[in-house]
Chain A
Amino acid sequence: MARMILRRLLLLVPILFGISIVSFVLIALSPSDPAEVAIRVNAMVPTPELIAQTRHELGLDEPMLTRYVHWLGGVMSGDLGRSYVNGRAVAAEIAEAFPATVYLALVTLALILVISLASAVICARYENRLPDKFVRLMIFLTSALPGFWAGLLLMWLFAVELDWLPTSGMRGPESVILPAVTLSLAYVSTYARIVRAEMIRTSHENWVLFARGRGLTDARLTVHVLLNSLRGAATALGMSIPKLIAGAFVVESIFAWPGIGRLCITAIFNRDFPIIQAYVLIMAVLFVLFNLASDVFVAWLDPRERGG
């Protein structure tokens, strides 16, 4: 187990290195000169002298490799550069917005678990009967539902028409409900499908037949079957946490949720490159770390997986 973790950690090193290169090179994609952008966003006129001066201040006059090494050094010590717009440290901006996103992601995760397990249990108990078909139709529709449309409809119904919940922002505990429900819709279908298929497979195994023969009640049997069908979903779920954080930008933007996704979108409109760059880097690092964590978790659940 420890050897597997160590091996995987070593394999991470080249990947993380690659991630840092890609994140750094991204800025070269910009058709405009970052120095000029940095001047313009502060509503100044970019004269050639000013551009030269800004280039020097931002270190843009140095060769790419030097800049990369410098940037990487900064990243290692937690310095992600400064925002072009307000001059604040990018790390501080992200640290401020991060808790909101994590909060949203965790609430969403809880919702996903509850909704998808409940629908999977219903489907498996009534396999190919009316409740199963109905739930599957709903699941199918949510998998095709554009999250932003669902968000708008929910906002209109619950915030405008019924006036039960706030339209946007992060005020009070109830304000998380609409964004979390919207975000969860996209994922429920995946898990409900996985767990349903797994439960139906499990329920045909011999030990289930044996347990039924022993006279176990249906309810207890369902619990056993469910618990024995969660492995696939557990792996997928580990991967969803970073995807929930990463994919939240649309929902955050609709509901004006003050998270990092919204921070990045605002940065895009302001052409605030250092924030975009930091956002990409952090997301990718989170993604690979969670990937590793979920593999370790699976290995812990099932010793057969420990070899790889």
Chain B
Amino acid sequence: MHAILKRLLADRMARGCMVFIAMLLALGVLAPVLPIADPTAIDITGKFQMPGGGHWLGTDQLGRDIFSRLVWGIRTTLCASLAAMLITSAIGALYGAIAGGMRGRVDAVMMRLADVMMSFPSEVLILAIVGMMGPGLTNMIIACVVAKWAWYARMMRTIVRRISDAGYVRFARVCGAGEAWILLRHLAPGAAGEFFVLVTLDTGSVVLMISALSFLGLGVQPPVAEWGMMLSEAKEVMLQYPWQMFWPGVAILSTVACFNFLGDCVRDAFDLRHAGRDGQ
């Protein structure tokens, strides 16, 4: 573990990505106490201001401060994505580990269910679930979890299978190591690393999905600030004020790029060349 962390920290770009993500998270958490404008304060007389003056990045169609909406947007976009990832990976890991550990009939039944879930393209399932349950942040997170857990479950099962068939685990078993010991000492650390790589690689795509749904009006509802929704508001005034589209897009692009890059770096640090972005 120590060696992996060292290898990761040795990479300048990886450090940069981690700093950027940490900064985003800090900004998001601290948004209520930071000395920035109220993201929902409407000032019709001061709409579409250019950057400068009291507003670093200008104001939007209702005169709201764009910078402060971006910062508050971290709370919705990034936190929703991370929450969705966390729940999905927890359910997927547990399900996959149980299936992989039980083997036999239980495994077969569990994986058939997962196969059915995986036969839906995840975008379609997310769209449909949000569509049925109605727009909203919670529904969007639920939809992401329902659509994606099976992919994680299958990955976890494969990992658990491979590790428990590995020579050193068999050896430990022959030596009389208890199941609990094997689980804690061999399975958990080995599986956690690989699983973590896959989760990091997939986070960017979840951020994209969540902002896309909000862009379509299926996610967060106004007046909450969210990057995708800011873009859809900017679309309405594209003809007169095209620069309104600039900052929310940059925010999404840089966040997703950071997660993708970090995912690649983490994978290299774990030396898992074979683990690709095949989650989807």
Contacts and interface: CB of A to CB of B under 8 A. Distances in A.
A149 interface: yes
Interface string A216-259: 00000000000000000000000000110011011001100000
Nearest to A28: B132
Consensus secondary structure, chain A interface: helix
| Shortest 3 CB-CB contacts between residues of A and residues of B | A18-B116, A268-B131, A144-B257
A156 B238 contact: yes
A179 to B, nearest CB: 15
B271 interface: no
A18 B119 contact: yes
A282 to B, nearest CB: 9
Consensus secondary structure, chain B interface: helix
B115 interface: yes
Nearest to A275: B131
Interface stretch (B58-66, B157-165, B174-182, B211-219): B211-219
Interface of A: 14-15, 18-19, 21-22, 26-27, 29-32, 140-141, 143-149, 152-153, 155-156, 160, 190, 242-243, 246-247, 249-250, 253-254, 264-265, 267-269, 273, 276-277, 279-280, 283-284, 287-288, 291
Nearest to B146: A29
Contact of A246 (B121, B234, B253): B121
B231 A149 contact: yes
B277 A264 contact: no
B125 A280 contact: yes
B245 A279 contact: no
Contacts of A144: 204, 208, 253-254, 256-257, 260
- Between A19, A146, A264, A283, the greatest number of chain B beta carbons within 10 A of the residue's beta carbon is seen for A146
A153 B128 contact: no
Nearest to A141: B257
B73 to A, nearest CB: 13
22 contacts: A19-B116, A26-B128, A29-B132, A140-B257, A141-B253, A141-B257, A144-B204, A144-B254, A145-B256, A148-B211, A149-B252, A152-B231, A249-B123, A250-B215, A254-B235, A276-B132, A279-B128, A280-B124, A280-B128, A283-B124, A284-B121, A287-B120
A248 to B, nearest CB: 9
A299 B129 CA distance: 35
A30 B277 CA distance: 33
Nearest to A236: B278
Contact of A146 (B120, B125, B208, B277): B208
Given A140-B261, A155-B238, A246-B121, A14 B131 contact: no
B54 interface: no
Contacts of B211: 146, 148
Contacts of B261: 140
Contact of B119 (A15, A190, A269): A15
B117 interface: yes
B245 A156 contact: yes
A31 B129 CA distance: 11
B127 interface: yes
Contacts of B216: 249-250, 253, 265
Interface in B218-255: 218, 228, 231-232, 234-235, 238-239, 242, 245, 248-249, 252-254
A156 B260 CA distance: 27
B130 interface: yes
